[in-house]
Structure 1
């Protein structure tokens, strides 16, 4: 990779289902399987999330911050349970070190 090229950026997202958090990297516009990391039942700390991204071969893009969005489990149902989704821009660690 030349100095003018930059690592591809992706969005990592984290959500909870059935009491367990999972983090995955959405590899849009690729044929690759989306890497995924599953946490235990506690809410993952910032360090837990960074370590999980590293285990998947990614790191946050410099200056990127986690953003949180509220969604609903059942669209258009105001009584539906809330689903929290966190997201951050990431890049492949392998491409950065290449």
Structure 2
């Protein structure tokens, strides 16, 4: 259950990062509310997961999911550049996160 909470929390990290960008410096009320709610859910899930998952592993997985999710969202929805080198770096993050999970 802790790993599921960690993955969901990582996905909510992507949501709050995207909402933070959309809030334009917290000046747009709806995006700001989405940011705050997603941030709270993300942190609560991370806190729950860290009850049983070691902090170094849990935090790295959480950040990795959030970073990959945010980068992919940026490329698909926000027009961020897509290149072979960027994709390779994201694959390396996935490999590192998977390694932390399976070598735990």
TM-score normalised to structure 2 length: 0.26
Bigger helix fraction: 2
Structure with more of its chain in strand, by fraction = 1
